Amino acid sequence: MIKEIYQVLGISAEVYAYGAAIEKELSERFLQFDRTAEYNQLKVLLAMQKNRVSEECFGSSSGYGYNDYGRETLEKVYADTFHTEACLVRPQITCGTHALAIAMFGNLRPGDEILAPAGKPYDTLEEVIGIRPSAGSLAEYGVTYRQVDLLPDGSFDYENIRKAIRPNTRLVEIQRSKGYQTRPSFSVAQIGELIRFVKEIKPDVICMVDNCYGEFVGTIEPSDVGADMTVGSLIKNPGGGLAPIGGYIAGTKACVENAAHRMTCPGLGSEVGATLGVNRSFFQGFFLAPMITKGALKGAVFAANVFERLGFPVIPNGKEQRNDIIQAITFNEPAKMTAFCKGIQHAAPVDSYVDPEPWDMPGYDSPVIMAAGAFIQGSSIELSADGPMKPPYAAYFQGGLTYEHAKLGVLKALQYMLDENLLKAADLLRS
């Protein structure tokens, strides 16, 4: 029966069998993800119980949004989950880039320097920092930037990081996930080691970790290993697919307050900000987030194994430890990348009938192709695939509110590549 419904969905018997064989080999791996999710589910539950989440928390505020009980409780739940003094969790934070931007703008002053000790930050931060000249960037406010690239083997270049730390180094930016790069994502332990090194040299430096896509992948977060600010988007892991917008900054009270003064304005800080009815989705999404992240992880590992065996370079590889939910697959040819994205799109619950096209996106320096049929626009905890249309034509696959949906997406992508003669059915048998 299951084969038949796959067939109705356009998956041939060969593709189905190929996927089923791979899935079978992954059962032990999947069990590990179940255990991590179980731990994280309990961690979130504990934080909710400790803070006495109640029906009253699901109320809505309007106007200034003073004394929004749900918002205040939610921020405590986040802070307790991340083991931080404070957390800002708001619908006024429009996306991950915005959260990272206010974290930096709020905590930096003219003359300060940002150091990226683990290579270039995420593409959209180039304009926030002013690495690419941009109106309103930190560079325009007299904040300078320095970067130390990773060594060829992907490890931190400690010798040059030491040299790059100056008297005015104020904030260190570390991106956990690979983003649109083909380097590996860092483990929380690796990030902890880097933070310890930096703080030994200059204890007052603020360590900020871009935690996008990393939440609940493991049992600890960057905030558990010394990060002063851990920052992310609610339309990724911690929103659990239900948050319709938002971002968070978990960290020290001082850092979070500084960020709040930039999110609203000096003097008002976190005291204002109506929640307009999103509290329930924020709570419920955060409650589900460990489980949703687990499904996405299983989908990513399935995708890695499906395409690795067909000879495509994949990062991480099919067996490596996971530090985020992103799966990079390198196609080397635009046609293969487009066919892959088409498959993901056509597997979606929303907009399954449209074809994705490469397009210029604000914040990105080349056209980007994006496949997403999401309930929430641009939500990449929902099944999505995207990537810049430039060599090496690497697509970044992530999300899936359920593993079953992610699996269909992968099979559908493979099916398109076969149907469009970009792969041969014999390749499936050979691998």
Ligand X SMILES: *Cc1c(COP(=O)(O)O)cnc(C)c1O
233 binds ligand X (CB under 6 A): yes
Specify the stretch interacting with ligand X by CB under 6 A; choose among 71-79, 156-164, 210-218, 260-268: 210-218
Applying CB under 6 A, among 58, 78, 156, 213 the residue interacting with ligand X is 213
Find the shortest distance in angstroms from Cβ 210 to ligand X: 5
User: Quick one: 40 or 177, whose CB is closer to ligand X?
Assistant: 177
Find the shortest distance in angstroms from Cβ 303 to ligand X: 17
Specify the stretch interacting with ligand X by CB under 6 A; choose among 5-13, 33-41, 80-88, 172-180: 172-180
Applying CB under 6 A, among 51, 81, 97, 305 the residue interacting with ligand X is 97
User: Quick one: 19 or 130, whose CB is closer to ligand X?
Assistant: 130
Find the shortest distance in angstroms from Cβ 236 to ligand X: 6
Find the shortest distance in angstroms from Cβ 45 to ligand X: 27
- Bridge partners (DSSP) of residue 394 are 330
Find the shortest distance in angstroms from Cβ 122 to ligand X: 4
Q: Which residues contact 50 (CB under 8 A, 6 or more apart)?
A: 80
Amino acid 275 reads: T
Rounded to 5°, the CA angle 241-247-250 comes to 115
Burial (CB < 10 A; 0-12, 13-18, 19+), residue 214, is: buried
Rg of the chain over Cα atoms, rounded to whole angstroms, equals: 22
What's the rounded Cα separation, in Å, for the pair 351 and 372? Answer: 8
What's the rounded Cα separation, in Å, for the pair 240 and 242? Answer: 5
107 binds ligand X (CB under 6 A): no
For residues 178 to 207, the per-residue mask of contacts with ligand X, x marking binding by CB under 6 A and - elsewhere, is -x----------------------------
Six-digit token string for 333 = 């040819």
61 binds ligand X (CB under 6 A): no
User: Quick one: 108 or 368, whose CB is closer to ligand X?
Assistant: 368
- Distinct helix (H) and strand (E) counts, the chain: 13, 12
For residues 110 to 139, the per-residue mask of contacts with ligand X, x marking binding by CB under 6 A and - elsewhere, is ------------x-x---------------
Find the shortest distance in angstroms from Cβ 163 to ligand X: 26
* Among candidate residues 410, 416, 336, 405, the one with its CA nearest the CA of residue 369: 336
Q: Which residues contact 55 (CB under 8 A, 6 or more apart)?
A: none
210 binds ligand X (CB under 6 A): yes
What secondary structure letter does DSSP report for 237? G
Report cis status (omega within 30 of 0) of the bond before 167: no
263 binds ligand X (CB under 6 A): no
175 binds ligand X (CB under 6 A): yes
DSSP state string for 333-346? SHHHHHHHHHHHHH
User: Quick one: 279 or 384, whose CB is closer to ligand X?
Assistant: 384
Using CA atoms in the order 339, 302, 374, 291, what is the torsion angle rounded to 10 degrees? -170
For residues 340 to 369, the per-residue mask of contacts with ligand X, x marking binding by CB under 6 A and - elsewhere, is ------------------------------
Find the shortest distance in angstroms from Cβ 265 to ligand X: 22
177 binds ligand X (CB under 6 A): yes
168 within 8 A of 109, measured Cβ to Cβ: no
Count of residues touching ligand X (by CB under 6 A): 12
246 binds ligand X (CB under 6 A): no
Which residue's CB comes closest to ligand X? 96
Distance set, CA 406 to CA 67, 410, 423 (Å)? 40, 6, 21
What secondary structure letter does DSSP report for 119? B
What's the rounded Cα separation, in Å, for the pair 355 and 340? Answer: 11
What secondary structure letter does DSSP report for 184? P
End-to-end, the C-alpha distance of the chain in Å comes to 26
Find the shortest distance in angstroms from Cβ 186 to ligand X: 11
Find the shortest distance in angstroms from Cβ 177 to ligand X: 4
Applying CB under 6 A, among 65, 70, 96, 343 the residue interacting with ligand X is 96
Find the shortest distance in angstroms from Cβ 213 to ligand X: 5
Find the shortest distance in angstroms from Cβ 235 to ligand X: 7
Binding site for ligand X (CB under 6 A): 95-97, 122, 124, 175, 177, 179, 210, 212-213, 233
